[in-house]
Amino acid sequence: MTTTTKVFVILVCLFALIFTPLAIQFAARSHNWKLTAENARDQAETAYANERSAYAVAAAEIEYYEDLLKTERGNLANAQLRIGELERELLKLREERDGLAASRDSWQNSAQLLTSQLNVELERNKNLSDAREKALARERELQTQNLQLADRVKELTAEVAILDQQAKQRVEELASFREENRKLREQLKLGQAGQVVATATPTAIAAAPLPTGPISGEVSDVKGPLATINVGSSSGVREGMVMVVTRNGDYICDLEITGNVTPNESVGRVMYEEAGRRIRASDKIQDATSFETRR
């Protein structure tokens, strides 16, 4: 209840108290004064009751509005706390926004860098495509040359067949020699590093002049029946020479040097392999003469 309402209620009560006797006096002069007095008394009591009721209602409303004011003050305090939290969250969001802006700039720089790299790769792919076209043209030329060489291969095949027959005969001889040599090595094993005692067994003799000293090296590559070794003509390797391949001192196979001999590299054909063993890169090689005469 507002102050104006309270003043209005008080004024109404005062006017009722002032005008009630006047009304009683007027009624006593013109009617039965006793009945009028009783009515006035009843009216006064009613007015007093109404006044008390009005005061009670006003007090209740005052209490209600005070409680409401307390509630609103509590809500205001909570709202202020919430405002503080929101301000802190806003500050945090601004910091995150700044961080995201920096990340965006970094990503944009990365995208520009990747775009540049992509352009370089596209240019490279274009160059590779041109090179591929040239390679295809070269391949077509080589195919033509291969057709020409195929005829030559057919001519050489007949010669190879004859040489294979001769090689088979030689391999059969080597097989019997190697089998005998293997049995002797198994019987005469040394106690150190798995080395075998030197045994003079018949083996293939180099078709070319023997070198003045031992020849040793390693297998650098193996492709099918052919193996490349890292020694050549500068070490005394000649076409037709037989090289022995070993691994950890154990015999693996023989290599017969073909015509592909350079100063520092040679190619040999696998002539005979020990059962269950295959030649591979990094195997040791030694000329057959020094292998058979080692002590």
Q: What is the DSSP string of 234-271?
A: GGT--TT-EEEEEETTEEEEEEEEEEEEETTEEEEEEE
Give start and end residues of each alpha helix (H) in the chain. 3-30, 33-187, 288-292
Share of the chain above pLDDT 70, in %: 76
- Look at residue 137 in the predicted model and tell me its pLDDT: 87
> Per-residue b/e over 203-240, b at no fewer than 16 CB within 10 Å?
bbebeeeebeeebbbebbeeeeeebbbebbeebbbbbe
- Look at residue 34 in the predicted model and tell me its pLDDT: 66
Q: Which of 30, 62, 84 is the last residue of a domain?
A: 84
Report which of 19, 7, 26 is spatially closest to residue 43, judged by C-alpha positions.
19
Q: How far apart are CA 63 and CA 261, in angstroms?
A: 118
Q: Which of 61, 84, 107 is the last residue of a domain?
A: 84
Q: How far apart are CA 226 and CA 269, in angstroms?
A: 5
Residue 254, in any domain of the structure: yes
CATH of the domain at 283: 2.40.10.340
Residue 123, in any domain of the structure: no
Cα torsion 28, 34, 39, 42: sign: positive
pTM over 0.75: no
Whole-number average pLDDT of the chain: 79
Residue 35, in any domain of the structure: yes
Phi-psi region of 240 (alpha: psi -120 to 50; beta: other; left: phi over 0): left
- Look at residue 272 in the predicted model and tell me its pLDDT: 73
- Between 23 and 78, the higher pLDDT residue: 78
Stretch among 30-44, 146-160, 197-211 having the lowest mean pLDDT: 197-211
Residue 179, in any domain of the structure: no
DSSP 233: G
Calculate the dihedral angle through the C-alpha atoms of 266, 270, 272, 274, rounding to the nearest 10 degrees: 90
Q: How far apart are CA 190 and CA 193, in angstroms?
A: 8
218 — pLDDT class (breaks 50, 70, 90) = very high
Residue 283, in any domain of the structure: yes
Phi, psi of 241 (to 5 degrees): -70, 145
Q: Which of 84, 99, 131 is the last residue of a domain?
A: 84
CA 288 to chain centre: 53
Residue 287, in any domain of the structure: yes
Domain range enclosing 42: 3-84
Give per-residue pLDDT as tens, 241-278.
999 999 998 889 999 998 789 999 999 999 877 667 88
Residue 230, in any domain of the structure: yes
Q: Is the pLDDT reported for residue 196 higher than 60? A: no
232 — pLDDT class (breaks 50, 70, 90) = very high
Facing residues of 255 across strands? 243, 270
Residue 206, in any domain of the structure: yes
Q: How many domains does the chain have?
A: 2
